[in-house]
């Protein structure tokens, strides 16, 4: 210890030194950080429903603006960012000022038999007493491995078709593309998604189908993507890919979705939606009503024909078909007029002035 006393002054200051080579930071401290007592998980994740990371500090802390980031590491050394956000965010909380909880997105540790590492910036948390930045964790120090395989049922699952939605900026962008330009856009978008999820590019098929969102006045554009089943148990299931992509898009500000030029055009409020299988509950109900109505009309036809065989009873079917056609025409104009521009004006008047009520 060294000290200095200034002559004729009522104060003094000291300098305290220590032998730093006696402090084995690598082996004696959690993730080479003397401020951290314990972390959970430590090295291995045995199941894929991990929803938070816990860091126990040896002193009271407060959140600051440094980031905590999680990366996936591939065999070739490539690093892929899975999530990142600052201490002062909606995804962090503390218990007793010393235990920090960090939310883990469902898309982060999503790949079986994969390697990850976590980094923490200096100043992710500050000392509560002095409001000074606390040391973080460097890259490739805190490693985590996922240790599970997907169930055999994954290999037997068929492919699925999902819908993505472009935001207003994305819709404006593709409206200025030619037919060939749109094909390039679709292919490049699939390439970006395959890197971000991550998933083999061969499992993502761009169907080339798109349409304006008929239920949104902002005229967003809906895209269709097909996802095929895996060929190995070390690859994610179709349902997991859909769930992961939905999480990535809905949290795009904290994932790589916002870092790529085309995926940044995806609408975070929409996420992903699975298209119907064609034989769902709504279609079953529609078929039941349609069948019931058809049977009722047939019964009425035979009753009327029995009572008056000479009459033009076939008009019963004609009248029913006319009513059905009229209802379907109105529904088409209301919900899908944006895709046929000549129907836009009738749709506008039907919705604004309810003209169709005059026909009833």
pLDDT tens for the chain, 360 residues: list them.
Answer: 555 555 565 555 666 565 554 555 555 688 999 999 999 998 888 887 889 999 999 999 999 999 999 999 998 999 999 999 999 999 999 999 999 999 999 999 988 889 999 999 999 999 999 999 999 999 999 999 998 766 666 766 678 889 999 999 999 999 889 989 999 999 999 999 999 999 999 999 877 778 877 666 567 888 999 999 888 777 888 888 999 999 999 999 999 999 999 999 999 999 998 886 544 555 566 677 777 777 877 787 778 777 777 777 677 777 777 777 777 777 666 655 554 544 555 555 555 444 444 444
Give CA torsion, residues 346, 348, 354, 356, to 10 deg: 20
CA 249 from chain centre, in angstroms, equals: 3
Token representation of residue 136: 């973080």
Burial 109-130 (b: 16+ CB within 10 A, else e): bbbbebebbbbbbebbbbbbee
**What's the rounded Cα separation, in Å, for the pair 102 and 68?**
9
Q: Spell out the domain ranges in the chain.
A: 26-146, 153-274, 281-359
- Kindly give the pairing relationship between strand 221-227 and strand 79-86: unpaired
26-146 has which CATH code?
2.60.40.1220
pTM: predicted TM-score of the whole model, two decimal places:
0.71
Beta bridge partners of 68: 85, 120
Retrieve residue 218's tokens: 């902002």
Q: How many CB atoms lie within 10 A of CB 255?
A: 23
Q: Is the peptide bond preceding residue 23 cis, with omega within 30 degrees of 0?
A: no
Q: What are phi and psi of 344, to 5 degrees?
A: -65, -40
Give which of 69, 162, 50 is closest to 111, Cα–Cα: 50
């Amino acid at each position: 210890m060294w000290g200095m006393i200034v002559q004729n002054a009522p104060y003094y200051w000291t300098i305290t030194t220590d032998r730093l080579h006696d402090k084995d930071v690598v082996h004696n401290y959690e993730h080479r950080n003397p401020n951290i007592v314990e972390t959970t998980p430590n090295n291995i994740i045995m199941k894929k429903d991990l929803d938070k990371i816990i860091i126990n500090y040896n002193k009271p802390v407060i959140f600051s603006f440094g980031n905590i980031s999680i990366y996936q590491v591939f065999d070739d050394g490539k690093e892929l960012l899975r999530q990142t956000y600052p201490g002062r965010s909606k995804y962090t909380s503390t218990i007793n000022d010393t235990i920090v909880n960090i939310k883990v997105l469902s898309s982060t540790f999503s790949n079986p038999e994969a390697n990850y590492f976590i980094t923490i910036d200096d100043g992710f948390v500050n000392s509560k007493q002095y409001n000074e930045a606390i040391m973080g964790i460097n890259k490739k120090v805190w490693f985590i491995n996922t240790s599970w395989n997907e169930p055999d049922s994954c290999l037997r699952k068929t492919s699925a078709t999902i819908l993505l939605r472009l935001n207003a900026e994305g819709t404006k962008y593709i409206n200025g593309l030619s037919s060939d330009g749109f094909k390039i856009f679709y292919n490049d978008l699939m390439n970006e998604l395959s890197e971000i999820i991550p998933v083999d590019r061969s499992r993502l098929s761009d169907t080339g189908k798109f349409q304006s969102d008929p239920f949104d006045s902002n005229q967003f554009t809906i895209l269709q993507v097909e996802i095929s089943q895996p060929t190995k148990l070390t690859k994610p299931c179709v349902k997991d890919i859909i769930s992961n992509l939905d999480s990535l898009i809905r949290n795009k500000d904290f994932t790589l979705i916002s870092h790529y030029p085309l995926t940044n055009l995806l609408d975070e409020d929409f996420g992903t939606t699975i298209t119907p299988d064609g034989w769902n509950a709504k279609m079953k109900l529609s078929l039941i009503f349609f069948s019931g109505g058809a049977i009722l009309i047939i019964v009425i036809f035979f009753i009327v024909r029995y009572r008056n065989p000479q009459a033009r009873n076939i008009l019963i079917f004609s009248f029913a078909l006319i009513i059905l056609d009229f209802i379907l025409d109105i529904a088409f104009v209301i919900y899908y007029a944006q895709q046929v521009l000549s129907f836009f004006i009738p749709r506008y008047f039907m919705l604004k002035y309810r003209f169709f009520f005059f026909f009833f």
